[in-house]
Structure 1
């Protein structure tokens, strides 16, 4: 398992850690620098958020506003394509990783932790992409054999999972004779979840259906077979033998005539009623067990769901902004503290080693993104592959000038 790019500390905690790393006389100046840096980066993300909202609006299933003009298919597809591109950009900035097709296939093959088997119709999707952030190994104790046996299971857990799904058009569902449940053809949905075991990724699909596991079918089938045999023998045994003898006589396989009295017919009818009631009872057990599985699935998703549709990219833009600020602050702080200009590899190694020694945290720091931001903001100078930070006073002045230049009306 590789180290994650995600920095698992709040922005304000990072500011405090950076202040503690610097000399005490720089604490107030660094706090001021942090404030204006956050404002500049926040403004830069504002345009991206507005573009995401605009591109998502034509197919937002939760919209409570009206469109001024109808959207044709060509325009709709253009908006969807642009949104998908920007959504991927935001997720990458928020340090999410793409969940590969191999990971999804492994999830479908692995046994669910909450003992529910799900089937997913992948053909319903025109596009589907899963993203994750924060991967860890966890251990959970599961009860088996009606709670009599405990078993410890180790599994891979994802702290955050974002999904992007676009359904096929209405013609596809008409040709399949399938009526969509809970979603609209051509719709695009985005969702955000927390604490999702890798083995249970399939439960996040909107069209997943609960299926009985082989062990559940065996339990119900065995119960039905044994119970049905007992009912047939005790309630219908004599009547069935008499009926078989009568059929044999009518068919010429038996010479001795057989007579069934009214009492025999009444007994047979009562027995058939009992047998029919037993079959209905077993069928009800099957349906009730499936309902319990569906409830387990719904309960599980209720506590794992963090956000839906437009709310997702609002949350992710905020997360991406936080990651950008944290990366920039850390890179600037360590360059400011360095005695001389250093390479990106040296800076990367120092930050990662510092996190490991002070916070027992292993991460893959995004050094290229951090330095790129600082260079664009003119807070770091690069000469022959070596980087050096400008002093705090100059950094604040340059950020202030950039802030003042955001609006220059003649």
Structure 2
């Protein structure tokens, strides 16, 4: 169950096509409304073309780091592109309106109890760099069963709709052990997850280990001690007495030797067999309980994982392109439909209020970023601290000219 009493974030939870329809539904556009769709078709094409350069740069920087690549490197540069890739990744995440998860928030998550009834441990010494980003944060409630399902309690927790994890392993052979993630030393991993409780961030790491909680140890240890006492007194007691007699004779503490007849051998091997069977049973109980925990963790990750490595880059670029388009569309629309020029604060308030009242969506609109894009594209006029949108017809001409210039390779001197 979601709780809407959460802080406002920058992410706009609607598609670009929906934003356009939401604006058209207002019926407040000046002039002919049919010009609105061609304008935004051109605008989205411009953003798509500009993001192509970002995509190429990210692909080039990540190519040498990608653990899933199936292509050869024809011209190795010999340079480490990690720094360039991380910078480009952060810029893309910023445009996609992701928020960085700070080290303090991560440490808090590591100390909180897991919602999945597991105790997890992550060895951060195996990583040279760890970055986490989230988008779409909400406060939720969930019923947790206790005492083998006999009772339950409702817990409140912070849930992330999307989490991006970037991890670079240390260049050490220790990270290539068979019980670790199948990644070479120094490799970089990029993963995207959905619906991740803040308290369970540790399950997203490749070297997550299950640890037995005190309750789990008691559930295994107490029955083991009780049954162990029964086994010792009923099945192994006679064997222990026989062994004590034999050792006493060997060390000179007993004068009478112990005869190893059929009866005594039966007692001896029967006791050892019972003891071995008991130890194996307790070991199997421990392993089976750990396997159940591992299965629970694997099932959760199976449904939460959205993409990996290079696939994450394409998703993030698409998200960034969508967010840039949505911000520009909303800012231009409200400037166009305003009867007077607006300053940043007035425009920001109108957009946020409209989304909250008409569409029940609380966001912290990126007004500075939206206006910077419109000014750069020449779609608004800036008058000191106020902004005025170009009429639709002029805006279409401006975007049309910009689009043509992308493919005009005529030297400037001959134009």
| TM bracket (short chain) | over 0.9
Aligned to 1:119: 121
Take 1:400 and 1:38, find their aligned partners in 2: how far apart are those partners?
12
Question: Does 2:138 match 1:136?
Answer: yes
TM normalised by structure 2 equals 0.92
Cα distance change on mapping 1:81 and 1:172 into 2, 3 Å: farther
TM normalised by structure 1 equals 0.93
Measured after TM superposition, the shift of residue 346 of structure 1 is 0.7
Contact residue 246 and residue 257 of structure 1 kept, 8 A: no
Take 1:7 and 1:169, find their aligned partners in 2: how far apart are those partners?
39
Task: Say which of 41, 45, 68 aligns to 1:39.
Answer: 45
Take 2:180 and 2:216, find their aligned partners in 1: how far apart are those partners?
28
Could you list the runs of 5+ residues in structure 2 that have no partner in the other structure?
1-5, 411-415
Aligned to 2:336: 336
Structure 2 residue matching 1:152: 3-state secondary structure: strand
Name the count of aligned residue pairs: 403
Measured after TM superposition, the shift of residue 384 of structure 1 is 1.4
Take 2:388 and 2:27, find their aligned partners in 1: how far apart are those partners?
16
Contact residue 380 and residue 390 of structure 1 kept, 8 A: yes
Measured after TM superposition, the shift of residue 253 of structure 1 is 6.3
Take 1:239 and 1:43, find their aligned partners in 2: how far apart are those partners?
83
Aligned to 1:3: 8
Aligned to 1:90: 92
Aligned to 1:30: 36
Take 1:82 and 1:331, find their aligned partners in 2: how far apart are those partners?
31
Take 2:111 and 2:17, find their aligned partners in 1: how far apart are those partners?
42
Regions of 4+ moved over 6 Å: none
Take 1:142 and 1:351, find their aligned partners in 2: how far apart are those partners?
39
Aligned to 1:303: 303
Take 2:103 and 2:32, find their aligned partners in 1: how far apart are those partners?
49
Take 1:315 and 1:226, find their aligned partners in 2: how far apart are those partners?
55
Aligned to 2:3: none
Take 2:150 and 2:269, find their aligned partners in 1: how far apart are those partners?
42
Aligned to 2:23: 18
Counterparts of 1:29-178 in structure 2, within 5 Å, are: 29-72=35-78, 75=79, 77=80, 79-170=81-172, 173=175
Structure 2 residue matching 1:265: 3-state secondary structure: helix
Contact residue 90 and residue 316 of structure 1 kept, 8 A: yes
Measured after TM superposition, the shift of residue 50 of structure 1 is 0.8
Over the aligned positions, Cα root-mean-square deviation in angstroms equals: 2.0
